[in-house]
Structure formats: C-alpha cells, structure tokens
A and B are shown apart, each in its own frame.
Chain A
Amino acid sequence: DGGITQSPKYLFRKEGQNVTLSCEQNLNHDAMYWYRQDPGQGLRLIYYSQIVNDFQKGDIAEGYSVSREKKESFPLTVTSAQKNPTAFYLCASSLLGTGGSAIYFGEGSWLTVV
C-alpha cells in the first residue's frame, strides 16, 4: 500500500545525543515536511523540501537538521542543540504543481529525552 512510513515509533534520547528520525514515502510526492506536535498543541513546521537536495526552514528549525538525497526520503536529525526535544514528530508529503493537493501524514514518532 502507498503511504508514509516513519520509524521508530518511540525513541529515547540521552542528554547531548543526536538522534535521527526516518521518513520514507512511496506516493511519488514531490514535497515533504516535518512537523512537531507538543501534547495538546497544534502543529509547528520544522523543515520542508520541495525538491531533492533542497530544503527550507520552517517556524522552529533551530536545533534540527534534514537532508533530501532521494525523493522518497526525508530524515530529520534532532541535535543536542535542541533544548526541549521531547515531542511527537510528524512527517508529511504532498504533490506539487497540481491544484489543491492535500498533505498526507505518517503515523508519527515519539521522542523522549531521558
């Protein structure tokens, strides 16, 4: 089935460690996104990419990094510079160039700092 796969579902990070969240899509979508969601809160955009080897910062990019080496993949690294990384992370994708494409989401990844 086509969709967006995020892994791992649950991840624990020690203080000072970098961790990488995986996001893969087989929908042939051009654009990919990373959002952060804190409990009981809405979505905040971290990074997005519209084409391979190019990406843009969202509203809360500090302490995060991404890469887009393949169309299907958009991993997010949470660096030690992110002071409060405990949150639910959502990866998403959408088509470009067609009017009114919706954005589609993966199942999310929980990151907890221990």
Chain B
Amino acid sequence: AQSVTQLDSQVPVFEEAPVELRCNYSSSVSVYLFWYVQYPNQGLQLLLKYLSGSTLVKGINGFEAEFNKSQTSFHLRKPSVHISDTAEYFCAVSATGGQNFVFGPGTRLSVLP
C-alpha cells in the first residue's frame, strides 16, 4: 500500500517570492507521482507528473517538481508566485502496475499582495 504526506497544511507567501510545497510518500513498490491544483469550487487539474527518467519535471503555470528516490520525496516548486496561484495543491501516487491513486491531504497556498 502507498501513503502520501504533505507536511504543510497551509503555506502563505508574498507575491513574486519563491515557494516549495513538500510531499513525501511511502511505498513498497515503484510509484508514479503527480501534483494537482484545485481552485475553489472546481475539480483537480493536473500540474505535472513523474513517470521515469529525469528527476526534474516541469509542468504548467511555471511549476516544477523534483523526484528524490532516496528521500521518497516529490516537492513542488515555483520560483516566483502570482496571486492567481492561490489554491489547494495535492500530491498523489499510483503504484506501477496498479491503478489506484492515493492522494495527500493537500496544502493550501495563499499568495499575499
């Protein structure tokens, strides 16, 4: 079974500052890793995914994430945030060969003017 931990439930940051949202996972098998964003009253939108290969993955809206197998982490970063990035962010994993997705509890990013 897999599990996902997002250590920060809320992250406030000023506009144009960098941000890192942390995600750690636990699994006895290889996994695929995903980050999703949810704006108020909307569904989740895929930001990026790691399947294999380069450990640095670039996604939409200027976000990127780095897979670290030894630390079982997949932290999300953006060098300069905008007000419009205010949303809930979810990290998720799925086992290779499996199809069930396990989501973390989410991190609420609040970008302040």
Contacts and interface: CB of A to CB of B under 8 A. Distances in A.
A103 B92 contact: yes
Q: Interface range on chain B: under 10, 10 to 19, 20 to 34, or 35 or more? A: 20 to 34
A50 to B, nearest CB: 7
Given A42-B90, A100-B49, A100-B51, A105 B101 contact: no
Interface string A26-43: 000001010000000111
A6 B52 CA distance: 32
Interface of A: 4, 6, 31, 33, 41-43, 45, 48, 50, 88, 90, 92, 94, 96, 99-100, 102-108, 110
Interface string B47-58: 001011000000
B51 A104 contact: no
Contacts of A92: 43-44
A110 B42 CA distance: 10
Contacts of A4: 43
Give chain A's interface secondary structure class. strand
B32 A42 contact: no
Given A6-B43, A88-B41, A108-B42, 15 more contacts: A42-B103, A42-B106, A48-B100, A50-B99, A94-B99, A99-B32, A99-B51, A99-B96, A100-B96, A102-B49, A103-B92, A103-B101, A105-B36, A105-B43, A105-B44
Contact of B99 (A6, A43, A96, A108): A96
Contacts of B92: 103
B103 A43 contact: yes
Given A42-B105, A94-B99, A108 B41 contact: yes
